[in-house]
Structures are given as C-alpha cells and as structure tokens.
Amino acid sequence: MLAEAVVIGCGVIGLSTAIRLREAGVDARIVTAELPENTTSAVAAAIWYPYRAYPEAAVLRWGARTFEVFEGLAAAPGTGVRMRGGVELRREPVGEPWWAAAVPGVRRCEEGELPPGYLEGHAFVVPVIEMPAYLRYLMGRFARTGGEIEERALGSLDDLAGEARVLINCAGLGARDLVGDDSLTPIRGQILRVRNPNLKDFVLDEDDPEGVTYIVPRSEDCVLGGTADEGEWETEPDASVAAEILRRCAALEPRLAGAEVLGHRVGLRPGRPEVRLEREDGSGVPIIHNYGHGGSGVTLSWGCAEEAVRLAAEA
C-alpha cells in the first residue's frame, strides 16, 4: 500500500522525524538497515552539546528547539532524559560559548571550580539523555501512533519506488552510499562505560591535546570518552585507546580511578561540512534529506525533525 511518507533510518534522527510526521497526521513508516540498538545513536554519551555540526546559525536554531523539547521530556517519567549540571573546561581564555543563547543560565566558572591546568570554564545545566532508555521510549511512542518499522537494506532510493509520496532520508553515514554523498565522512568515537561512583555532574574538555575528553554520569553508569578520528571506519574498540580515555578521565575526576568497567563501544558519527536538511525534487517522488549531523544528532534531533516535517508538508 502506498504510504504518504517513508523515513529511511532508525537512529535518533529517523525516529524523531517519523514520530513528528505521524503525530502531525501523516501516514509514515520507517525502513531501516539497523534497529536503534545497533545504530550510532545507541553509543552516544548524549549530552545536549553542539559538536562537529555546521553551519552554526542553523545548528543554534535546531539545537535551541531540541533543548526546549528535552526540558519537557525531563519532567516525564520513563523517557531517559534528565537535566544535569556540569562544566566545559578551557586551557586558554575564551569568550562566551557560541551556543549559549540556547541554554539558560550559562555562567563563567569561579577559580575554585577549575581543575589544575585550566584557566577558564563555563558551568551550565543541559539535558543528558540515557540512550538505551530513550531509544526504547522513542520506539514505544512511534508504535503507539500506529507506526511500523521494516528492516531492509537499501541499495539506493530507487528501491523504494512506488512505496510513498515522499521519502525522508535520515540514513546518517549510510547516506554516503545510499545517495552517493562523498562529503560524508566517519568521525570515529570510542567510549567506555564504568559503574558510576556517585558522580552527578558532567565534565567536558573538547580541547584536550591528547584527545577530546568527557565524563557524563547517568543513573547507573558513567560514559567516558573519547575520540574524534576523522576518516576512520573501524568499529572494534581499541584496548589501548580505552586505557588512555580512562586515564584522562581519572585525572579530571579521581573517583573514577579503579572504577568497574562495564563495556566498550564505538560509534561512527556522520561528519559533513554542513548538515543536509533540504528538499530535492529529482525523478520520481520528492526527497527530504535530513543527515550529516556530526556529533550532534541528539542535540539537533527535534529541531531538525520539525523542519523536515515542514519540508515534507510542502512537498
């Protein structure tokens, strides 16, 4: 049966877009090569924080809207979303973060809040999203609208010919082959999970010369990271890299020294010079592209989903 819309991809971008479509009354279903637990979204530390996504003006707009949605979800049980405080550390003096307009109450850290070696930092409260619980929540929300998911690998968009009036491409890094977008490149991110030694606040050090470093406490564990290796496709965790991540994180937070390691994961972020969120009218049906979010898929998810729905409605 001809659907009004088919969403390609079932990570956080695809699920959010499909939910917004169905809640707007559009008969939308999902076709995906991988279910959510096997996507990069499942690996994410998932703190609201724009990272490796461009252009900044659009990212700020999409991110601000997503922040608003997450604030609402944090007040609801069972979503996996919580508001948490933390700091972004800097080794050199900097101005206010470029994304600060989207986050209420960003303030400069006082001297006593900075670890040795850091000259500046900013403290703020943002959504932290526990992805296993959140992806289950999204799947349940989509199912309650009557949405259906089909596991099917696509060779090209032509494989969906005659199945929908509009296609929404949320394939992430898979869009490189699906639509021949050579500007997409993997940004390899390795993380490890450790048992949470009663930490409450996150810590971010994007400028660590030894590698991007972050500590994101969750209810039962902490996500420690990380790496940002552009052009690397390897998805097996590297034991030596994991040891370095743990060393860097324990230097920032000594309570992590000796923490029980619960698991290792690698995700391939879909890096691109700019997020591709646009309508394409080629042969056949209109296509709405919504991919290339870098390390900000969760951060931009609802804002981009709503814009994709507007583009689909116009189509």
Has 240 been labeled as part of a binding site?
Answer: no
Q: Is 185 annotated as a binding residue?
A: no
Angle among Cα 224, 212, 174 to the nearest 5 degrees reads 85
Q: What is the 3-state secondary structure (H, E, C) of 107-159?
A: EECCHHHCCCCCCEEEEEEEEEECHHHHHHHHHHHHHHCCCCEEECCCCCHHH
268 with 233: CB under 8 angstroms? yes
Query: Does the annotation place 41 within a ligand binding site?
Result: yes
How long a stretch of residues is the chain? 315
| Separation between Cα atoms, residue 203 and residue 212, nearest integer Å | 11
Listed residue (232, 298, 236) closest to 63, CA to CA = 298
Q: Which residue, 152, 138, 120, is CA-closest to 298?
A: 138
Asked whether residue 176 is marked as a ligand-binding residue, the answer is: no
Tell me the residue ranges of DSSP E strands in the chain: 3-8, 28-32, 81-90, 107-108, 120-129, 149-151, 164-169, 185-195, 202-205, 213-217, 221-225, 229-230, 261-271, 276-280, 287-291
The answer to whether 17 is a known ligand-binding residue is no
Q: Is 183 annotated as a binding residue?
A: no
Q: At 309, list the tokens.
A: 């729905």
Question: Nearest CA to 299 among 27, 102, 88, 90?
Answer: 102
Is 69 annotated in a binding site? The answer is no
298 marked among binding-site residues: yes
51 belongs to an annotated ligand binding site: no
Judge whether 66 is annotated as a binding position: no
Between CA 3 and CA 59 the distance in angstroms is 30
d(CA 212, CA 54): 18
Q: Are 17 and 33 in contact (CB under 8 A)?
A: no
Comparing CA positions, the residue from 296, 234, 244, 223 lying closest to residue 267 is 234
**Residue 132 CB neighbour total at 10 angstroms:** 13
- Which residues contribute to the annotated binding site for D-dopa? 214, 269, 295
- Which residues contribute to the annotated binding site for FAD? 40-41, 294-299
- Which residues contribute to the annotated binding site? 40-41, 214, 269, 294-299
